[in-house]
Amino acid sequence: MTEKDGAPTVESDGGAGQDAKFRFPYKSIVALVVIVVLGLPAFSMLQPRYFERYPDLKSRMHNWSTSTHARIPCSGCHVDPGPQGAIRFGIEAIPAFYSQLLHGPRPSNLLQVPDRFACQKCHTNYRQVSPNGDLLIPHRAHVEVLKINCPVCHKNLVHSRNTEGFNAPEMSTCLNLCHNGVKATNKCVKCHTRKQVPDNHKQPSWLQIHSTMTEKVNCGTCHGWAPNYCRQCHQNRPASHAGNWKKLHQFRVKERGTKGCYFCHGGQRFCKKCHD
């Protein structure tokens, strides 16, 4: 603004001010696009409905919605605690999200299995017994000492059920992974308060006579944790059959008779398969 002949005048800026006012906000749009491209994957992959649209995952989301964890958001388990966990999840979600859009759900682009730190945001490791009081569960020894992640035992807890249709660990997991008598004890009384070895199992002749008891005793009451519990022993050759048993067994029969053989092999028909 200048004065000329005592009257103020306004200098023209050539329309620059008007152009600046209506200039297209390219930087703002670019920033918005970047935020959407980077933020949408992390936001979407923490929404249950995002996974429900895939037929292969729909049942897993249904199991979650009917489990005790239905009130827990996806981020509560699948994002590690703290800012670093959130940043790490955001970075990993970007390629997983767009890969899933193009190719569908794959193990490599799904949420990772939670570790023990995620579980410990809500759960303590002080529980010693199961809700029914039978199963001994020294959680502190497993979690703090052995550093075992909770989903190793509780793999059928939220998104899937075990073979019996429950959201609970199966005994086969415990026995096959650790409690096999070598890596960890397999004695019943070490894990159970109500399951003792039956007295008839302590008889010296139990190995010989147990096959005759199958119609009197429901073996599955204790051994049902393994679908083929008989096969676990019977598919292995007994210690007495070591060496060239095909050649030596005739001498054992002469010494001890065939009665012992028939306990396992079911009578003369078994011998006749070869000797007839």
What SS3 state is found at 136?
A: strand
Tell me the C-alpha distance between 268 and 27, whole Å.
Answer: 91
Contact in structure between 162 and 168 (CB atoms under 8 Å): yes
Contact in structure between 237 and 228 (CB atoms under 8 Å): no
Tell me the C-alpha distance between 232 and 208, whole Å.
Answer: 17
Using the structure block, give the residue that is written with the tokens 């075990």.
Answer: 162
Q: Give pTM, 2 decimals.
A: 0.61
pLDDT one-digit tens code per residue, 191-233: 888 777 888 888 888 877 887 888 888 888 778 777 777 877 7
> Which of 135, 57, 148 lies closest to 100, judged by CA?
57
Mean pLDDT of the chain: 82
Residue 240 DSSP class: G
* 7, β-bridge pairs: 4
What's the pLDDT score for residue 184? 92
Tell me the C-alpha distance between 174 and 184, whole Å.
Answer: 10
Q: What is the pLDDT along the chain (276 residues), one digit of tens a residue?
A: 555 555 555 555 555 555 555 566 777 777 777 777 788 888 988 899 888 888 888 899 999 998 889 999 999 999 888 888 888 898 899 999 999 888 888 888 888 889 888 888 888 878 787 777 788 888 899 998 999 999 999 888 899 888 777 778 888 888 888 998 889 998 888 888 877 788 888 888 887 788 788 888 888 877 877 777 787 777 777 777 878 888 888 888 888 777 777 767 777 778 888 887
DSSP 86-107: HHHHHHHHHHHHHHHHHH---G
Cβ burial 212-229 (10 Å sphere, 16+ → b, else e)? eeeeeeeeeebeebeeee
What ranges make up the beta strands (E) of the chain? 2-4, 7-9
What's the pLDDT score for residue 61? 92
Contact in structure between 84 and 92 (CB atoms under 8 Å): no
Tell me the C-alpha distance between 37 and 20, whole Å.
Answer: 28
Torsion of CA 139, 87, 73, 95, to 10 degrees: -110
Contact in structure between 211 and 264 (CB atoms under 8 Å): yes
Tell me the C-alpha distance between 274 and 254, whole Å.
Answer: 17
What's the pLDDT score for residue 146? 92
